[in-house]
């Protein structure tokens, strides 16, 4: 009598082993794990569930292929992108056979991670000066929210930086060596012949993850009370008549984390 051969049906796999995650940057994590101790069949792939803690965001999954030639004790690694700096996520992973998804590693809903934040990516466009608004002490600038990126974290505020330029088009940066990591105010630059860069306006930004394109216009130089303000107060004081200026936009993810656009072209009041 010849031997009888048969094959049992596959079942759902057990949980993966030693699941862990680590942040690579504000928008990516690396997940790693070992295959289930009880595969209960041939593992076809793995499914990573990414569940934002923010209830307004929908969860999503990432499929990771399984190499049938991989040893059962081989580490599996995968990178998950499209996260947002400063946000928290719950992550879990399940092995899959033809019988379905396996169990999650523990009784909890996976591993929770809070993403780090960095200074925002530099916008590719610059502030625009509206030529027909230029007067002796004020003018209007314009920028667009399409410049806003939350890839490195939610934006908290925007600021307009003004820099007077000399006759050869240079800005006054000498002050920086006495006051590193500090941007001056309108009142603080009054002691200079050529005003170094200063913050003239600060505007809070709504904590959105995505921004539709929207033009924003600001009038620069219209506050005549700045001389009466404390020198630490950001104030939108008047420009000098007959002087050259450049402007740029600064975006913040935290008080000490910001990125500037390139300066605008030089304009003369």
Kindly report, residue by residue over 154-187, the tens digit of the pLDDT: 999 999 999 999 887 777 776 554 455 578 999 9
Give the pLDDT confidence score for residue 177 in this predicted structure. 44
Give the pLDDT confidence score for residue 175 in this predicted structure. 54
List per-block mean pLDDT (blocks of 10 residues) for the chain, which spans 269 residues: 60 84 96 85 89 92 80 84 95 83 66 96 95 97 96 96 88 59 88 94 94 96 95 96 97 95 95
Say how far residue 108 (Cα) sits from the centre of its chain. Answer: 29
Question: Is domain 128-268 given the CATH code 2.60.40 in the classification?
Answer: yes
What's the pLDDT tens digit per position in 188-227?
A: 999 999 999 999 999 999 999 899 999 999 999 999 999 9
Give the pLDDT confidence score for residue 8 in this predicted structure. 64
Give the pLDDT confidence score for residue 1 in this predicted structure. 56
Task: Please check whether the two domains, 17-114 and 128-268, share a CATH topology.
Answer: yes
Give the integer Cα–Cα distance in Å for 92 and 122.
33
Buried b (16+ CB within 10 A) or exposed e, 4-32: eeeeeebebbbbbeebebeeeebbebebe
Domain boundaries, the chain: 17-114, 128-268
In terms of pTM, does the model score above 0.85? no
What's the CATH fold of domain 17-114?
Immunoglobulin-like (2.60.40)
């Amino acid at each position: 009598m010849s031997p009888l051969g048969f094959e049992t049906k596959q079942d759902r796999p057990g949980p993966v082993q030693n699941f862990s995650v680590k942040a690579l940057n504000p928008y990516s994590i690396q997940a790693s794990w070992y295959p289930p101790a009880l595969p209960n069949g041939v593992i076809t792939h793995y499914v990573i569930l990414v569940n934002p803690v923010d209830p307004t965001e929908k969860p999503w999954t990432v499929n990771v292929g399984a190499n049938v030639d991989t040893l059962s004790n081989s580490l599996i690694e995968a990178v998950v992108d499209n996260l947002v700096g400063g946000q928290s996520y719950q992550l879990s992973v399940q092995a899959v056979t033809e019988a379905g998804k396996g169990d999650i590693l523990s009784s909890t809903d996976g591993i929770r991670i809070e993403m780090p934040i960095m200074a925002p990516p530099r916008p590719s466009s610059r502030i625009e000066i509206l030529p027909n608004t230029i007067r002796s002490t004020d003018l209007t600038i314009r920028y667009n929210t399409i410049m806003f990126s939350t890839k490195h974290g939610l934006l908290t505020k925007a600021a307009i930086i003004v820099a007077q330029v000399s006759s050869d088009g240079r800005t006054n940066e000498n002050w920086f060596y006495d006051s590193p990591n500090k941007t001056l105010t309108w009142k603080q630059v009054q002691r200079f012949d050529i005003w170094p860069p200063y913050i003239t306006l600060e505007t809070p930004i709504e904590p959105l993850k995505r921004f539709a394109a929207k033009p924003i216009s600001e009038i620069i130089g219209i506050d005549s009370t700045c001389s009466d303000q404390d020198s630490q107060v950001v104030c939108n004081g008047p420009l000098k008549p007959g002087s050259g200026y450049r402007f740029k936009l600064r975006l913040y993810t935290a008080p000490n984390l910001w990125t500037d656009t390139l300066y605008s072209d030089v304009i003369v009041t």
